[in-house]
Amino acid sequence: MVLACSQRQENLLQTAVDLVRPRGTLLYSTCTFSPEENETVIARFLTQYPDFALLDPPRFAGFGEGRPDWAAPPAGAELARAVRLWPHRFPGEGHFLALLQRTGEPENRTVDTPREFVIHTPLRNDLAQWRAFADELLAFDLPEDRLHAAGGRLYLLPARHPATGTLRLIRYGVLLGELRGNYFRPSAELALVLHVADMTHSVSWSPDDSRLQDYMAGVDIPDPGPNGWLLVSVDGYGLGWAKRVNGRLKNHYPHHARRPQTG
C-alpha cells in the first residue's frame, strides 16, 4: 500500500509540473510518516526535474527538518529544507511538506482584464419560452426580475447576494434550463429543488417502485395522460424530468447519473 501511494503521488507531481510557471511554487504535502511517500518522492522528483529546487519555508515552533538519510537511496542535504510535523511537537497526526520552486524567468503574458458580472435580462422570445413552461407546470410564481440569461441558459439569481466584482462565475443561482430557440428545456438542477406540491403535472413513485429503477436507467415508461413536460419525483421530492408523448414518458434523466438496470 505504501509503495502504491508513493507511485500515485509521483504521478500527481508529474501532472502538476505542467501547471507551474517559471518562478512559480508548488507545495507537496502528505499526512504520513513514510519516507517512501515523502523524502524518496521528492528526491526522485528533483532528479527528474532539475529546473525545480527546494525552498526553505518559514519555520514555526514544532517544525522539524526533512530527513535526507531516510530517502532511498539517500539524497542530498537540501532535502533537509522539507518539513516534518511530528504529533508530539505540533497539532495534527503527522505531516510532511516540501516547497518547490521552478527556476527561470517569468514569461511575459497578456492577461485578460476581468469583467464585472452583469445581469442579462432575458430577451422577449426567451422570456416567452419560460413563461409558457412556467404557466403550464409551476403552481407558484418565480420573480422575473431575478432571471438571468447567459450562454443559451436561464438562471434564477439569489434574492440577496454580495457584489462579485471581477470574480469569474461559473454558475450564478439556480440553473432553470436551456433556451432552445423555440422552446424551453428544464434542467435537472431545477427538478431537484421542486416538490409535487409545486407542480401542476408530475408523477411520484415510491423508492421501491420498479418504474423508478427503469427511469434512473434511462428507460422510457408507459404512462397514460396528456402530452407535455412533468416532474418525476420520489415520495413527492423532485428527481428529474420526463416528457409524456402519446402515452409514454420520454426519459430526460441526465445521462451521467443513469444507473444500469439490475435483475
User: What is the dihedral sign for C-alpha 98, 99, 101, 107?
Assistant: positive
Q: Shortest CA distance to 249 belongs to which of 263, 217, 135?
A: 217
CB neighbour list of residue 142: distance below 8 Å, 6 or more residues apart:
134, 156
Active site residues: 31
How many residues comprise the chain?
Answer: 263
Residue 64 · residue 55 · CB < 8 Å? no
- Taking each continuous run of H as one helix and of E as one strand, the counts in the chain are 5, 14
What is the phi/psi pair of residue 229, to 5°?
A: -70, 150
Tell the burial category of 59 from Cβ atoms under 10 Å away from its Cβ (0-12, 13-18, 19+). exposed
Q: Which of 159, 147, 263 is nearest to 214 (CA)?
A: 263
Cβ distance 85 to 62 under 8 Å?
yes
C-alpha cell at 222: 408507459
C-alpha cell at 110: 497578456
Query: What pairs with residue 244 in β-bridges?
Result: 228, 249
Which sign, positive or negative, has the C-alpha torsion 204, 201, 243, 249? positive
